[in-house]
Structure 1
Amino acid sequence: MARRTSLVSLNTISDINMTPLMDLTFILLITFIITFPLVEQGIAINLPKGKAADIKDAQTRSISLNLAKQLYLDDVPVSAEELKAEMATIGAAEPDTTIYVRADRKLNYGEVVDIMKILHDANITKMALVTEGE
């Protein structure tokens, strides 16, 4: 005996399913929220621990010194001579600029003092040593 089946016509769905798009948007948002603080300080430096004070100035620059003794001025690699020239320019043109000094905790104290000498010679009076919160 032959079996009778009715052929069902396939209806096409013209609507876009928004649920996967909302899921993707939410995942991207969470990813950016998590990674933004990591991108802000782009140079990987193992900072010393200490209690930090809040310094709020409009004009700030940062000098970073990593364990390989590479100097960075605002995430741009510079030599010691270039740093001296740039700090002299900043000291003359923008004396109210605060300089944040970030150095790896395993560096010798003398390496950080050399950076402080450069800032002192450039007549920069506002400087701060950046530490990791306890």
Structure 2
Amino acid sequence: MSDINMTPLIDVMLVLLVIFMITAPLMTASLRLDLPKSEAATPSDAPSVIAVAITPDGQLHIDDQALDAKAFQQRIADLGRANPQLEVQLRADRSVPYGQVAELIGWVQAAGMNRIAFVAQAAASAP
């Protein structure tokens, strides 16, 4: 017999393909908790995004527009009713107390928006 039997080779390659298909998504899943500085601090490219920021003095901003707490809650509620799938990109200064950030997240969730992204500054790369 002068032909090579390809069936065992194909079987082995299919098994390897299945193994790599199963393990590849598990290797990319990771949780980064270093919010103030992050290696992968890039805003998402979601089509409907609103930027919410809180400054060290507690001033609230929606898309670079400064608002007081009551106006902020009203505006975020209006935006939540208009589009509940809206992604909120939260930028909080490092010196803002966690309680104020948690309160802001509560207002956003009360408005019906559950997609909240924390935006962090990219870590300084070493020369």
- Specify the alignment match of 1:77 in structure 2: 66
Counting strand residues as a fraction of each chain, which structure ranks higher?
Answer: 2
What is the deviation of 1:58?
1.1
- Specify the alignment match of 1:102 in structure 2: 91
Output the TM-score relative to the length of structure 2: 0.64
Runs of 4+ in 1 over 4 A off after TM superposition: none
How many residue pairs align between the two structures?
A: 88
Uncovered stretches (5+) of structure 1, i.e. residues with no partner:
1-46
CA distance in 2, matches of 1:83, 1:53: 25
Larger radius of gyration: 1
Matches within 5 A, 1:26-105: 48-51=36-39, 52=41, 55-105=44-94
Q: Secondary structure at the match of 1:57?
A: coil
> RMSD of aligned C-alpha atoms?
1.6
Identity score, percent: 26
**CA offsets 1:6-35 (integer angstroms, 9 cap, x no match):** xxxxxxxxxxxxxxxxxxxxxxxxxxxxxx
CA distance in 1, matches of 2:103, 2:94: 15
Output the TM-score relative to the length of structure 1: 0.61
